Amino acid sequence: MKRLRQRPSDPLPPGDDHPVKRPTSGEPAPDIRELRARLAEAEETLRAIHSGEVDAIVTTGKNGPQVFTLEGAEHPYRVLIESMSEGALTLATDTTILYANQCFARMVKCPLEQVTGSAFRRFLSATDGAALRLLDKQAANAGAKIQVHLLACDGSRLPVQISLRPLARKGANGAALAMVVTDMTEARRTEEMLRTLTNRVVQAQEAERRHVALELHDHITQLVCAMLFRSQTLANRLSDHEGTLKQEAITLREMLGRTAEEVERISSGLRPGVLEELGLAAMLRATTMEFAERTGVSIKLSCAPLPARLPADTELTLYSILQEALKNVEQHARARHVTVRLTKRDADVQLMIHDDGIGFDAEHHPTPRKGNGGLGLLSMGERAIHSGGALEVKSVRRAGRAKSGTTIEVRIPLGS
């Protein structure tokens, strides 16, 4: 509601019909006191206009009362707020809605006159309301954001993002909080489409990895092994008198042996047969032992007994995440110790990989240390979500003698 401010009529200049009263000793003249009062009134009016407390001024003059509205001070802002494609609100300290635009009323499918004056928590579930109250305390000195579901008047639920900003209050009844509500329906739909696309890419990658692994195992490995046997036969047929040629044959045999081992390692990494035949725990032991022998990094493995074999997709997800995490440790972390722990918590299976390396700034670099051709942390998280679980990454960058390192935890329900 607009506030009106009364302004008295202009004083008439003193003349013959209005003689000036002579003040007594030490007392200012009445006209001086009146001018001072008028000046104070004008200064207060200007201050209120500048601060936005006044929407209109009423003055009295020769032609009677006149109203001067200050539309230029507020009208553009109201037009801007009402034209927004986002909900805009101001709330009191008890979350009473003091103002809401038409967009928010459309979001909750409720007439605007029923929205204004009601409590904002009526449009939230109990869980979301508790989260918002906690965020309100955190936003006392700065802005904050949260994603919740609005409960519309027709019973539907709308995913939204709420941005909070504290306001400088004037008086006990002033607005305490400004709020912008963004409809996240399209964003969620786009996110789901991207997630579906990511899952298809991952499935295509797995199919290609399986194909390449079979080709390496069934063709390349056999050819290399055949060359290894022929080189061994050649070395055996050469006499000791042909020392130089015999030594070259022995060197060639050793190189072919190392090549066969490397091809088998790559094939096993692409599609490990041990995982399909013996299960996740056996594959974790084989992978960590091979990593420690190849890199010299100390690694400790702990596997809790699981009630039964996990689904093949779940085992493959956990193994792939371990594989990518160890690759990051080898290429970037500069760690000396790694801990791998497979446990069962409630109805979830949890895999934790921790290294004492240099760490990284997870806040400013949410997808760091992406290996060349590797999954990266983002794809690792998408793999976990596709299996019905979640992935969490915690990292502390080394500063002086402070502890540092990175911890990756993935949880997947046993029933996935």
Q: How far apart are CA 75 and CA 123, in angstroms?
A: 29
* Three-state secondary structure readout of 349-396: EEEEEEECCCCCCCCCCCCCCCCCCCCHHHHHHHHHHHCCCEEEEEEE
User: What does the block give as tokens for 375?
Assistant: 């999954």
Give bridge partners of residue 337 from the DSSP assignment: 298
Q: How far apart are CA 44 and CA 146, in angstroms?
A: 41
pLDDT score at 355 = 94
Q: How many CB atoms lie within 10 A of CB 71?
A: 10
**Which whole-number Å values give the CA distances from 253 to 55, 114, 236, 240, 264, in the listed order?**
94, 86, 11, 17, 17
pLDDT score at 62 = 64
Radius of gyration of the chain (CA): 38
**Which whole-number Å values give the CA distances from 78 to 83, 100, 116, 281, in the listed order?**
8, 11, 16, 63
What is the reported pTM?
0.53
pLDDT score at 404 = 79
* Sequential pLDDT tens for the chain (416 residues): 344 444 444 444 444 444 545 555 555 566 788 888 888 877 777 666 555 555 556 666 666 665 555 555 456 667 778 888 899 998 888 888 988 999 999 999 999 989 988 999 899 988 888 888 777 666 555 568 889 999 999 999 999 999 888 876 655 555 678 899 999 999 889 888 887 887 788 778 778 878 888 888 788 888 888 888 888 888 888 887 887 888 888 889 899 988 988 888 888 777 776 677 778 888 899 889 989 999 999 999 999 887 778 888 888 889 889 988 999 999 888 899 999 999 988 888 999 999 999 888 765 554 444 444 345 787 788 888 888 899 999 988 766 555 778 999 999 998 75
8 Å CB contact between 285 and 300: no
Helix (H, G, I), strand (E, B) or coil at 23: coil
pLDDT score at 347 = 84
